[in-house]
Structure formats: C-alpha cells, structure tokens
Amino acid sequence: MALIVQKFGGTSVGTVERIQEVAKKLIQFQQQGHDLVVVVSAMSGETNRLLSLANELNDNPQGRELDVLLSTGEQVTIALLCMALEQQGVHANSYTGSQVRILTDKTHNKARIMEIDDQKIRNDLAKGHIVVVAGFQGCDEFGNITTLGRGGSDTTAVALAAALNASECQIYTDVDGVYTTDPRVVAEARRLDKITFEEMLEMASLGAKVLQIRSVEFASKYNVPLRVLSSFKEGGGTLITSEETEMEQAQISGIAFNRDEAKLTILGVPDNPGIASQILGPIAKQNIEVDMIIQNTGHDGTTDFTFTVHRNDYASAMSIIKAAAKTLSAREVNGDDKIAKISIVGVGMRSHAGIANTMFEALASEGINICMISTSEIKISVVIDEKYLELGVRTLHNAFELEHE
Ligand code: ADP
Ligand code: ASP
Ligand code: MG
C-alpha cells in the first residue's frame, strides 16, 4: 500500500466542521488503500492569538517558553482530529513532535529537524491506524520543546515523508495549487500544474508564503514528490518536481513579493578596503539578516552604501548604523521602512535575453521608480516604494502575460 503524508493547514482545520470534513476525506483515502500519516497546523488564527497573549506579558517573548506556548496550538488540533476519526469508527493516534521524536537542534523558535524516529508511526500503520502528527514542533536532545518557525508544519510534513519514504507529500491548503503569483493580489493569476524545486525555492524565499522555505529545501534534498492542493476543491493541484524539460518554454514562471522590507543608507563613507565589513559586521553580530547590498561607485574618496533588512529589524539596524557612521565619519545616514520587493522567477531566464528590460520598461510605464535591483541566474528582484507594490505585481503579471499558458 502506498504511504502518503498529508498536511492540512490552519484554514483547513479552522473549525470543528472543517475538522470533520478533513476526517471524512482521510477515511476515503484510507478506503482507497493508502497508509496515512497526517500533519496538522493549529486552527487558523490560533498561533497569532497565542503570540499576542505572550506580547501582553512580555516585551520580547522568545526562546524556550515561547515554544512551549506556541506548540499547544497544534496539540489541540491533533487531538480533535483523532476524536473526529474515532467518532467515525476509524482508529487514529495523535503524537506531538516530541512524542514521535522529531529531534531538532536547540534553536528555539526556528529549530531545524535533525532526525526522526519512525518506529511508533510504523507500528501504528501496521495496525491499520491513521497517524496524526502535530506540525511545526519537535524537541531538542534534552527534551525541550522547539518550534520550526512560522509555516513550519509544511516542513514537518516533508521531513516525515522523507523519513518514511512516502510516495508523495501532499500539502492541503486554502488555494488549489501554486499560482503565477498570490491570487489574493492578482485575480488573473494562473495555477501552475508543475514547478521546479529550484523555482519554488526562489518563490518561497522571495515572499510566496504558500510553502515554508525549509520544506522546499528538504523536499529537493531528499527528492520527495511534493504537491500543493486545495482542502476544499477537487483537482490535481501543483506538483513540485526536479524536472525542467516542459517548463523551459516559459521565460518567467511566477512573481513573488515581500512587503516586510526596510532599507538603510550610509552616505559619504571613506572608500577604503574593509568598509563593507565595518558597516555590516556589527549588523551580523546582532543576528540581523541582510538581504540586498549596494555600494555606489566612489567619488572624491568617499562612497555611499545601501542595504536592506527585515522591517522588524529596522530600528535596531538603524541604531547600529548610526554608531558606525560616527566612527567612520560618514556624512549622513538615512533609511526607509516603507519599501517592498518584487521578484520575477523562472528557469527560462537562463536561455532568454531581454527579460530584465521587459521588467524595467513595464514598471517605468506605470511611473514606478526602482530603488534597488538584484539578480541571480533565475530571478530578478527590484525594491520599490511599498505603495506601488500591488500595481507593480499586476503590471508585471500583465507584461509577461502570465495569465496565459
Ligand atoms: P496554510 O494555513 O494552509 O499553511 P498559508 O496561508 O500558509 O496556508 O498559504 C496559502 C496562501 O499562500 C494562499 O492563501 C495565498 O494567499 C498565499 N500565496 C502567496 N503566494 C502564492 C502563490 N504563488 N500561489 C499560491 N498561493 C500563494
Ligand atoms: N501554526 C504555525 C503558524 O501559524 C505553523 C503552521 O501553520 O505551519 O505559523
Ligand atoms: Mg502555511
């Protein structure tokens, strides 16, 4: 019998009625002859609710206790889903991450899965039970509860699929697949039948939150066939695969965007060796991730230096840069935390020229100014004023005719 790992996201288990629907669906799958391991998220809104409780009591909730708190969301859903299954006469056992033993490193709030013990799961499957595992959590070597970062249930599902050598990992969510861009922003967005791991990884890294980045990394590394489907609508969804052949025709596969960006500029710093590390070193020391970096051509022995960070890190990055500016006798420091990044992604870029130009012309035709540009082999990203984000995404979707196959 084929073993499938299925993951149901927050909206799909958002009410008791929806949990009942999921239970019915699982029973049908089981009757078709599948062995089922099911991963569930917390009911929609629950993780945010728990976070805001933590924020009421602590200015900066983090670490071990935040993980103890957040992991309860998923613990509720696994129990409720098993009760719904039992009610319909099907045996099911629920497991938290630490009960399975999903062993992670010690990085609270953003832990990485190191190892999974599949023994309990295999024993249950052998008895014909459905196994329900809490997403988004594990435990470190000392038994402390850890969580995997927002959206982490996707990664739990893929990691289980890899550990159990499942024939497919199916991610059920509130859209019926991966689209050319977020369908909430562009109504004409088109569902893709297939997308490569490489493209999906770029899309996820550049802001498409339909899959957690690590789940795609994991699936690609262990070659787990990964499919995104709707919990509410029939259909084959989107298969994420390593093959490129058919898709190479398209220049661009999708557009991703990220609103959570901020940029900082330090003007008139001496144009000497070591300047970049003197500016960015202290930023890295504070564990602030830097995304794009631009250093202007030097002029009269000085230069300007601009970089982007996550908007949540803007205030801390600014105070670090102000201190660096004094030491370096920089002329001025400025910044903007109302910027956004739009990226076009596609393996077809490797073999097509002129894509960047189409992108820049389309944005210019709408009067959208580009503040920063960065490119890699299969993506081009631009930073623009946040207020033009939606217009920019729609304009590019049109310019590359992504609504048509
Ligand atoms: P879940 O709670 O099931 O994990 P998420 O909210 O994490 O669901 O992910 C699904 C959402 O991802 C969709 O509702 C959609 O708005 C958003 N999304 C962003 N980019 C895309 C894309 N390119 N294709 C499909 N959905 C996308
Ligand atoms: N419940 C967690 C979150 O909201 C994990 C997940 O849903 O994947 O981020
Ligand atoms: Mg998600």
For the CA of 212, the closest atom of ligand 2 is: 8
pTM over 0.85: yes
Q: Is the CB of 150 under 6 A from ligand 2?
A: yes
Does 77 sit in the ligand 2 pocket, CB within 6 Å? no
For residues 373 and 381, give the distance between their C-alpha atoms in angstroms, rounded to a whole number: 6
Element (H, E) at 292: strand 290-295
d(CA 233, CA 211): 19
Name all domains of the chain by residue range, CATH numbers in brackets: 3-174 (3.40.1160.10), 255-399 (3.30.2130.10)
Distance 181 CA to ligand 1 centre (A): 10
**What's the CA gap between 121 and 34, in Å, rounded?**
14
Band the pLDDT of 62: cuts 50, 70, 90. Answer: confident
> What residues does the ion ligand 3 have nearby, CB within 5 Å?
151
Distances (CA, A) of 251 to 150, 202, 248, 353, 379: 31, 15, 7, 9, 11
Q: Which of 1, 23, 3 lies closest to 12 in space, CA to CA?
A: 23
Is the pLDDT at 385 greater than 60, yes or no?
yes
User: Measured in angstroms, how far is the CA atom of residue 269 from the centroid of ligand 1?
Assistant: 42
Calculate how far, in angstroms, residue 210's C-alpha sits from the geometric centre of ligand 1.
Answer: 3
How far away, in angstroms, is 210 Cα from ligand 3 center?
Answer: 6
Query: Closest ligand 2 atom, CA of 48?
Result: 4
Contacts of 104 (CB under 8 A, 6+ apart): 97, 111, 112, 113, 114, 138, 139, 140, 146, 148
Q: What is the atom index within ligand 1 of the atom nearest the CA of 173?
A: 3
- Over residues 337-355, the mean pLDDT reads 91
- pLDDT at residue 287, as a whole number: 85
Mean pLDDT of the chain: 95
- Helices in 58-208 by DSSP H: which ranges? 63-87, 97-100, 119-126, 153-164, 197-205
Q: How much is the pLDDT for 296?
A: 86
> 209 alpha carbon to ligand 3 midpoint, in Å?
6
Q: How many CA atoms lie within 13 A of 365 on its CB side?
A: 11
Pair of tokens at residue 339: 């910027």
Q: Who lines ligand 1 at CB under 6 A?
A: 9-12, 41, 151, 173-175, 178-179, 181-184, 208-210, 254
Query: 115 by DSSP, 3-state: which?
Result: strand
In this prediction, residue 246 has a pLDDT band, given cuts at 50, 70 and 90, of low
Kindly state the DSSP code that residue 134 receives in the 8-state scheme: E
Q: Is the pLDDT score of 248 beyond 70?
A: no
141: which 2 tokens? Answer: 């070597």
pLDDT over 60 at 247, yes or no: no
Which value, in Å, is the radius of gyration of the alpha carbons in the chain?
A: 23
- pLDDT recorded at residue 249: 62
Residue 272: predicted pLDDT: 87
Q: How far is the CA of 9 from the centre of ligand 2 (A)?
A: 8
CA-CA distance, 324 to 268, in Å (whole number)? Answer: 12
Ligand nearest to the Cα of 97, by number: 2
Residue 105 CA, chain-centre distance (Å), reads: 19
Query: For residues 251 and 348, is the Cβ–Cβ distance under 8 A?
Result: yes
Could you tell me the two tokens for 320?
A: 């670090």
* Residue 364, both tokens: 């210019």
Among 41, 59, 42, residue whose Cα is nearest residue 50: 42
Q: What does the pLDDT look like over 266-291, one tens digit per residue?
A: 999 999 898 899 999 999 998 899 99
**6, 67, 136, best to mutate for ligand 2 pocket (most atoms within 8 Å of CB):** 136
Q: Give the nearest ligand 1 atom to 203 CA.
A: 23
Alpha-carbon gap, residue 219 to 215, rounded angstroms:
6
Which ligand 2 atom is at minimum distance from the Cα of 156?
A: 8
The residue whose CA is least distant from atom 9 of ligand 2 is: 150
Q: Is the pLDDT of residue 112 over 80?
A: yes
148 CA distance to ligand 2 middle (Å): 9
Reported as a pLDDT band with limits 50, 70 and 90, residue 371 is: very high
Nearest to 226 by CA among 235, 237, 34: 237
Whether residue 10 has its Cβ less than 6 Å from ligand 2:
yes
Closest residue by Cα to atom 8, ligand 2, is 151
Residue 138: strand, helix, or coil: strand
Which secondary-structure segment (H or E) carries 381? Answer: strand 379-385
Among the atoms of ligand 2, which is closest to the Cα of residue 41? 7
Residue nearest to atom 7 of ligand 1 (CA): 210
Give CA–CA dist 262/285, Å, rounded: 19
Instruction: Output the CA 315–ligand 3 centroid distance in Å.
Output: 28
Q: Which strands form 137-139's sheet, in the order they lie side by side?
A: 113-116, 102-104, 137-139, 145-147
For residue 282, count other CB atoms closer than 10 A to its CB: 16
Rounded CA-CA distance 58/69 in Å is 13
291-327 residue pLDDT tens: 999 988 888 899 999 999 999 999 999 999 999 999 9
pLDDT of residue 300: 86
Tokens 């809104």, residue? 45
Percent of the chain clearing pLDDT 70 (strictly above): 98
Tell how far the Cα of 227 is from the centroid of ligand 1, in angstroms.
13
Instruction: Provide the token pair at 381.
Output: 């990203």
* CA–CA dist 7, 170 (Å, integer): 6
Hey, CA dihedral for 6, 91, 103, 58, is it positive or negative?
positive
Q: Which ligand 1 atom sits closest to the C-alpha of 212?
A: 7
Helices (H), 5-127: 16-31, 46-57, 63-87, 97-100, 119-126
Number of the ligand 1 atom closest to the C-alpha atom of 10? 2
As a whole number of angstroms, the distance between CA 284 and CA 292 comes to: 14
The secondary structure element, H or E, covering residue 275 is helix 275-285
Span from the CA of 319 to the centroid of ligand 2 (angstroms): 32
State both tokens at 207: 């802001």
- Rounded distance, CA 21 to CA 146, Å? 30
Q: Is the CB of 110 under 6 A from ligand 2?
A: no
CA distances from 391 to 191, 204, 341, 363 (A): 20, 21, 13, 9
- pLDDT computed for residue 233 by the predictor: 92
